[in-house]
Amino acid sequence: MSTINTTSAAAAADSPDNATLSEALRLAELGFYVFPCKPGAKIPLTKNGFKSATCDPDQIRAWWTRCPDANLAVATEGFLALDIDGAENPYLADEARAASVSAFPQSRTPRGGRHFLMAQPVGRPVRNSAGQLAEHVDIRANGGYIVVAPSVVGGKAYQWETPLLIGADSLPPMPDWLEAALDSLKSGKRKRRGGPIPEGRRNSELTSRAGRMRRAGLDESQIAEQILQMNRAECQPPLEEEEVRKIAASTMRYESDAAAATARIIVAPDEARVTDEALAAMVADPDIYSRGTRLVRVVRAGLGSKSLQGGLVITDLPIASLREKMSRRIEFVKIGPEGEVIVVHPPDWCVKQADSRAQWPEFRELVAISDVPVLRPDGSVHQSAGYDPVTGVLYAPTCEFPLVPDSPTVDDVIEATTHMVELVCDFRFVEPCHRSAFFAALLSVVGRFAFDGPAPMFVFDANVRGAGKTLLAFVAATIAIGPGVGTSGYVESDEEMRKQITSKLIEGHRLVILDNLPGRVGCPSLDRVLTTTTWTDRILGKSESATLPATAVWFATGNNVVLMADTARRVVPIRIEVLDENPEDRAGFKHPDLLRFVRENRATLLCACLTWLSAYIRVGKPSLGLQPFGSFEGWSDTVRSAVVHAGFEDPCAGRAQLAEDSDRARDELFGVLDGLRKFDPRDRGIVVADMLASLYSTSTEAPDDLTVRLRAAIEAAVGSRPGQAPTARQVGNFFRANRKRVVAGMHLDNDSSEKSSRGTVWHVRRNEVPPV
């Protein structure tokens, strides 16, 4: 409903001449729930129809301030209105009946009909009905409403013939004859006209039934379908189809008594049609989206949640919520034998069928939620709050962002990159390519929906704790996602990692940070999510699977991270090194509180990222001849190339060293395992301190070949100088970091029940099924 914020409207509403507002306030004071209808009509002005009815005088004044000419309606909740249509209606021709309601509050309608107001029987609520008591006699009760004086319809006004001067809880009780008639209807004792409809009555009977359906809110096609069935089944002989359709069309000149905003669906045995119509009606619900094979909604996360994107998360739409939404948006009805329209609950089978469709082409596909403007594949930026049909992203801003220029210039890009360079000036990147990799990590999250295919994982690696790797990751996350970004731990179990991935994707996270990685990282589930854009997995706690967009960007942080070979090829490293003895004590930074600086300047920094990427896309993404990056072509052609095009090093230049390190680590572990197996051929167990004492004996005898080879393997693995004995702690840490890592069918393990006064007892185990 449009809002009218004009002085004249407010004056008209507050004017003592506004009789409708005065009457609305009077009825509300008596305890009646009122609401406005469209001027000159019986159609509610409020979005939720009679469900918006209230006794609140401030709300009532607000309604009539917006629309001073609105008609007045009363929701018939807790009482009943006997609605008799037409001045000549014979329903009260019986003098005893007429006398029993003569003193009731009574309203005359513009067409000469009458509304008699009375109390409902205690403990026996009455439902609405149309034409069930008699021709053109309806009941308005719970879930209904009536239009009252001084409303005007068709140029004529409603009038109180017997004034309404008492509250809803003081209305006179329903007369016995009416209560008995309603009981008869409820128990099914009312008799239908018997036999077929003969010539001479066919047209009038079908017209009467069609009129009931129209007053109940059915449209022309629904009415035509119903009376065509009645014509074929009851009329002898049936009328021509064209004549029946004319009857349906003729009813459309009458206004419906029901709210126009509610869809009406006729429940019948053709279940597929009912479910199709229900889903078609639900498409207009602004809170329902599709995501993969599920219907979903967006909710605000609870207090203390580590949710991203402004506190909003994506959740499955529970079937109970789907039913509730159907009941709000759809009126399900059944057609009685004489055309009476009976309102029913949403059928269980309809709700379940709708929930289990698994394909939702009519609904908006929700890929993600973003609280920042969304970059599109053509370089344009979605900057207005709301759903973006191009990317499938819901933009829900939590602060105001400057507008990104439609056609960024070279100067715009220079300014944007200057911001980025200045931002990280205090970090000690090992090589220029690692700074470029940070820019690529940030741009990957900001521009995730501007390219097809997956994005690589960015590993923020450092030589020691306190070097700033986690801070650097949070700088990127705060700009792209917002403050308060949470982290997740890396789990070595592939099963647990799979569950964690599924959970993150279900909630629609755009960025996942795996913090404080252990010495070695890699598992099949992580490898899989990094090279796909669609993830299918079983939903935790349910016996069903979900297929989800896998568009999250993955960050990871750690010290001297070693990656499994399959994971390493999916990673872009960001390496920083600090050689200070106490890195955390460093001072003299340009931005002493960097995260505070980022939070205060987030809008400017985010706009700079969008400008940088948009500019490169707008000039046509010229080819730069970069070495291909398998599985990540879309990312490489957009984000990686945008960084290089701006004059920076290739973000992927550090990957060669990463791959070399990953392969070397495997070889080093193999050397240690092979040497340990020969050192302890009977598998009695190895204690690190005892082993080192044996390998580095002070004996003057030359060491044998096995000792020399095992010494060299251990020294290379733990990083000690050649020929210098490593400490027991160094070797123990290496053993623990590589526990159960399989190389050539062997792995290190220990048994907590096996005790030794000199330390943990280690064994080299062979896998029962060696790897192929």
* Residues 743 and 669 sit within 8 Å (Cβ to Cβ): yes
Please tell me the distance from the alpha carbon of residue 726 to that of residue 111, in angstroms, as a whole number: 103
Give the per-residue pLDDT at 262: 66
Give the per-residue pLDDT at 772: 38
Higher pLDDT, 238 or 579: 238
Phi, psi of 652 (to 5 degrees): -90, 0
Per-state percent for the chain, helix, strand, coil, to nearest 5: 40, 20, 40
| Structure confidence by residue, pLDDT tens digits, 598-653 | 999 999 999 999 999 999 999 999 999 999 998 899 999 999 999 999 999 999 99
The two three-digit tokens of residue 633, written as one number: 């072509």
- State the chain's mean pLDDT as an integer: 86
What number of helices (H) and strands (E) belong to the chain?
25, 36
The string of DSSP codes covering 492-556 is S-HHHHHHHHHHHHHHT-SEEEEES--SEE--HHHHHHTT-SEEEEEPTTSS-EEEEE---EEEE
Average pLDDT of span 296-307: 66
Closest CA relative to residue 474, chosen from 596, 560, 651, 309: 596
Residues 6+ apart with CB under 8 A from 81: 115, 116, 117, 118, 139, 140, 141, 144, 146
**Is residue 7 scored above 70 in pLDDT?**
no
What's the whole-model pTM score? 0.58
Measured CA to CA in angstroms, residue 526 lies from 28, 497, 512, 564 at distances of 62, 7, 12, 11
* Residues 608 and 591 sit within 8 Å (Cβ to Cβ): no
Angle between helices 319-329 and 348-355 (to 10 degrees): 120
Give the per-residue pLDDT at 259: 52
Give the per-residue pLDDT at 766: 87
| Cis upstream peptide for 150 (omega within 30°) | yes
| Structure confidence by residue, pLDDT tens digits, 83-117 | 998 877 778 877 888 888 888 999 999 988 999 99
Closest CA relative to residue 504, chosen from 529, 472, 481, 479: 529
| Structure confidence by residue, pLDDT tens digits, 556-611 | 999 888 787 788 889 999 999 887 667 676 777 888 899 999 999 999 999 999 99
Average pLDDT of span 427-439: 95
Considering only 4-8, 594-598, 728-732, 748-752, which range has the smallest mean pLDDT? 4-8
The two three-digit tokens of residue 521, written as one number: 């990282």
The two three-digit tokens of residue 296, written as one number: 């979903």
Give the per-residue pLDDT at 720: 84
Residues 6+ apart with CB under 8 A from 587: none
SS3 174: coil
Phi, psi of 460 (to 5 degrees): -90, 105
Give the pLDDT band of residue 692 (cuts 50, 70, 90): very high
**Is residue 532 scored above 70 in pLDDT?**
yes
Give the per-residue pLDDT at 195: 59
Please tell me the distance from the alpha carbon of residue 603 to that of residue 18, in angstroms, as a whole number: 49
Give the per-residue pLDDT at 88: 78
Considering only 3-12, 210-219, 615-624, 686-695, which range has the smallest mean pLDDT? 3-12
Using a pLDDT cut of 70, give the percent of the chain over it. Answer: 91
Give the pLDDT band of residue 242 (cuts 50, 70, 90): very high
The string of DSSP codes covering 263-306 is EEEE--S-HHHHHHHHHHHHTT-TT-EEETTEEEEEEEPPTT--
Give the per-residue pLDDT at 256: 67
Higher pLDDT, 542 or 293: 293
Give the per-residue pLDDT at 63: 93
Strand order in the sheet with 386-388: 368-370, 393-395, 386-388
Give the chain's domains with CATH numbers.
7-186 (3.30.2250), 197-287+320-355 (no CATH), 410-581+589-648 (3.40.50.300), 658-766 (no CATH)
Residues 6+ apart with CB under 8 A from 170: none
Average pLDDT of span 2-10: 35
Give the per-residue pLDDT at 662: 64
| Structure confidence by residue, pLDDT tens digits, 492-524 | 888 999 999 998 988 888 999 999 887 668 888
Most confident of 199-208, 342-351, 471-480, 490-499: 471-480
Using a pLDDT cut of 90, give the percent of the chain over it. Answer: 47
Please tell me the distance from the alpha carbon of residue 358 to that of residue 248, in angstroms, as a whole number: 36
**Alpha carbons within 13 A on the beta-carbon side of 76:** 27
Considering only 420-424, 514-518, 531-535, which range has the smallest mean pLDDT? 514-518
Q: What's the maximum distance between 2 C-alpha atoms anywhere in the chain?
A: 132
**Is residue 320 scored above 50 in pLDDT?**
yes
Most confident of 176-185, 443-452, 483-492: 443-452
Please tell me the distance from the alpha carbon of residue 241 to that of residue 251, in angstroms, as a whole number: 16
**Is residue 148 scored above 50 in pLDDT?**
yes
Give the per-residue pLDDT at 519: 62
Give the per-residue pLDDT at 520: 67
Please tell me the distance from the alpha carbon of residue 245 to that of residue 227, in angstroms, as a whole number: 9
Please tell me the distance from the alpha carbon of residue 656 to that of residue 398, in angstroms, as a whole number: 40
* Residues 365 and 292 sit within 8 Å (Cβ to Cβ): no
**Alpha carbons within 13 A on the beta-carbon side of 275:** 15
Total residues belonging to the chain: 772
